[in-house]
DNA sequence: AAGAATATTTAGGTTAGTCTAAAAAATGTT
DNA sequence: AACATTTTTTAGACTAACCTAAATATTCTT
């Protein structure tokens, strides 16, 4: 991740970050509509932006064929992700925010422009490897530790794991977890998966509960046995 | 300083902050050209913005007559100043930036939008009263401690003071001070003021030097005797 | 108080990023 | 394979914030 001293607008950075996330999730060409719904804008706006990003060599875009990040695009996206996640750490560790309160603020902070700042922040936080949601933080070269995690829904019945991440890190979902007394780092045992609706009975150190299929898809565990 | 949940653009905030600073400095109606030169834009752009700010009741503007902040405009400006100066403290105290490196980054951070964030940051820094340049930090109600300071140029010959602030906090000026080994908190004695060009001979604990009239206008001392 | 110089405003244009509506391409269905 | 549906792109408009050039006010000089 070399710093070619080229700056991108906040809008451009947001598109790159979004495309990066969708590539991770789907592993293939990312479609215009997908981007539009994630960024909450219209497909026509996305098309405009994809042309611009393509002209700047940040994505490979062919009409009607979806889009992929170039190496340069991925580097830029990772730089934004790094900033976002470091700021989230700062907010939680230093300013005592709760993990479900930090996303919107980090969305703003991630666009602050100064390599020196972000490296100093990294050092101040003692080079954290994951953010408060359990997502890995890219280092200054764009490398990060991908710890093997499994969706609750994909666990074997009877097995246990440590809750290390969530797919949907929106406010409402995180608040739901709080209400249900589920927190990062909790040990969770999968008691049963209901074949009919794929809802999952789980057990924590302190209580048992049933989570919907939808929730079970969004929770990631690091397998412990 | 009540939080009426109205948001302003970065450009609007920058104009308000600029007008606030110029009002402080000159104590009267602020002219279009003054704003233009401070914000590094064209007079015609300033006119456009003044109309907009006026429509939002942030300034009182009459054609050709200059502009003043309204109460609401002043509150908004002070909120931005507060954020700027708190972030400068953070950068210097926590991230080990030097005081002449923080201005540009704080210019970005001051637009981050979250009252909770700024109050938590304030607490984290233990409610500092001045920023690294010696400028007072408004509290959440917009109030601040104005410690009586005097320009080096206005000191009596033979008197001493503590360097508490600078008027021009641009990078180049601060770098100049560093080079000359002048830092906030230094005790400075005025040896002589040259009548011809208003240059000033000063003495610090460690050395003597001559500063130009220009520099002497920009350095503020708290009088000690 | 008139003319010169300066300051300010107006008029009209540009760019980034958005939008709606219509056209075109791709995909799904029978 | 033909039609219907969905997805994507194009065309044309809008806003915020800026610009240049020209017009108009104000202030300075004599």
C12 C1' – B50 CA distance, angstroms?
19
With beta carbons under 8 A apart, name residues in chain A contacting B116.
Answer: 97, 101
Q: Percent of chain B having pLDDT more than 70? A: 96
C21 C1' – A44 CA distance, angstroms?
11
d(CA A204, CA B26): 65
- pLDDT for A154: 77
Residue with CA nearest to D6's C1' atom:
A33
Q: Residue A156: pLDDT band by 50, 70, 90 thresholds? A: confident
d(CA A41, CA B174): 44
B52-66 pLDDT, tens digit per residue, is 999 999 999 999 999
A106-128 pLDDT, tens digit per residue, is 999 999 999 999 999 999 999 99
Give the strand order in the sheet containing B200-203.
B150-151, B219-223, B160-166, B187-193, B200-203, B208-211
Which domains are present in chain A? 1-146 (1.10.10.10), 150-223 (2.30.30.90)
A67-86 pLDDT, tens digit per residue, is 999 999 999 999 999 999 99
Across chain A, how many H-helices and E-strands are there?
8, 8
B139-194 pLDDT, tens digit per residue, is 999 999 876 677 888 787 888 888 888 888 888 888 999 899 888 888 899 998 88
Q: Residue B3: pLDDT band by 50, 70, 90 thresholds? A: very low
- State which H helix or E strand residue B45 sits in: helix B43-55
**DSSP-assigned letters across all residues of A31-60:** PHHHHHHHHTS-HHHHHHHHHHHHHTTSEE
Class of residue B156 by CB neighbours under 10 A (exposed 0-12, middle 13-18, buried 19+): exposed
A81-95 pLDDT, tens digit per residue, is 999 999 999 999 999
- pLDDT for A3: 46
Verify whether the Cβ–Cβ distance A96 to B121 is below 8 Å.
no
pLDDT, greater one: A212 or A27: A212
What Å distances lie between residue A45 and A15, A36, A70, A216, B151, CA to CA?
A: 11, 8, 21, 33, 54
With beta carbons under 8 A apart, name residues in chain B contacting A112.
Answer: 105, 108-109, 112
With beta carbons under 8 A apart, name residues in chain B contacting A88.
Answer: none
- pLDDT for A1: 52
Q: Which of B131-150 are b and which e, b meaning 16 or more Cβ less than 10 Å from the residue's Cβ? A: bbbbbbbbeeebebeeeebb
Q: Percent of chain A having pLDDT more than 70? A: 96
Q: Indicate whether B4 pLDDT > 70.
A: no
| A45 CB neighbours strand C below 7 A | yes
The set of residues, in sequence order, having a beta carbon less than 8 Å from that of A87 and lying 6+ positions away, is A102, A105, A106, A109, A110, A121
Rg, Å, chain A Cα set: 19
In this structure, chain A runs to a length of: 225
Mean pLDDT over A13-23 rounds to 97
B96-133 pLDDT, tens digit per residue, is 999 889 999 999 999 999 999 999 999 999 999 888 88
pLDDT, greater one: A199 or A81: A81
Task: Find the nucleotide nearest A51 (Cα to C1′).
Answer: D9
Q: Indicate whether B91 pLDDT > 70.
A: yes
d(CA B163, CA B158): 16
DSSP SS3 for A72: helix
d(CA A36, CA A55): 20
**B184 contacts B222 by C-beta, under 8 angstroms:** no
Question: In A40-159, which ranges are E strands?
Answer: 59-61, 67-69, 150-151
Task: Find the nucleotide nearest A33 (Cα to C1′).
Answer: D7
Q: Which one, of A171, A133, A105, lies nearest residue B116 by Cα? A: A105
d(CA A22, CA A68): 10
Q: Indicate whether B30 pLDDT > 50.
A: yes
Q: Indicate whether B1 pLDDT > 60.
A: no
Mean pLDDT over A214-218 rounds to 88
**A210 contacts A182 by C-beta, under 8 angstroms:** no
Mean pLDDT over B83-89 rounds to 97
- pLDDT for B74: 97
- pLDDT for A2: 47
List the single residue in A with minimal CA-CA distance to B118.
A95
Task: Find the nucleotide nearest B50 (Cα to C1′).
Answer: C9
d(CA A134, CA A140): 19
User: What's the gap in Å between the CA of A90 and the closest CA on chain B?
Assistant: 11
d(CA B121, CA B139): 12
d(CA B146, CA B142): 12
List the single residue in A with minimal CA-CA distance to B120.
A95
What Å distances lie between residue B217 and B77, B131, B189, CA to CA?
A: 25, 20, 15
């Amino acid at each position: 991740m070399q710093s070619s001293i080229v700056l991108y607008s906040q809008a451009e950075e947001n598109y790159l970050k979004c495309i990066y996330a969708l590539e991770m999730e789907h592993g293939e060409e990312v479609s215009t509509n997908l981007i539009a719904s994630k960024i909450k804008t219209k497909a026509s706006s996305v098309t405009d932006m994809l042309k611009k990003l393509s002209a700047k060599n940040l994505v490979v875009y062919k009409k009607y064929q979806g889009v992929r990040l170039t190496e340069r695009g991925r580097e830029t996206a990772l730089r934004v992700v790094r900033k976002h996640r470091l700021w989230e750490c700062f907010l939680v560790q230093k300013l005592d925010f709760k993990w479900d309160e930090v996303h919107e603020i980090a969305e703003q902070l991630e666009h602050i422009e100064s390599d020196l700042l972000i490296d100093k922040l990294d050092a101040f936080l003692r080079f954290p490897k994951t953010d408060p949601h359990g997502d890995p933080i890219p280092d200054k070269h764009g490398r990060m530790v991908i710890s093997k995690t499994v969706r609750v829904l994909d666990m074997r019945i009877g097995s246990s794991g440590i809750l290390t991440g969530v797919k949907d890190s929106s406010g409402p979902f995180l608040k739901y977890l709080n209400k249900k007394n589920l927190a990062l780092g909790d040990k969770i045992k999968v008691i049963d998966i209901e074949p009919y609706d794929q809802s999952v009975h789980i057990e924590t150190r302190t209580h048992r509960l049933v989570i919907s299929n939808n929730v079970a898809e969004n929770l990631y565990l690091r397998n412990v046995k």
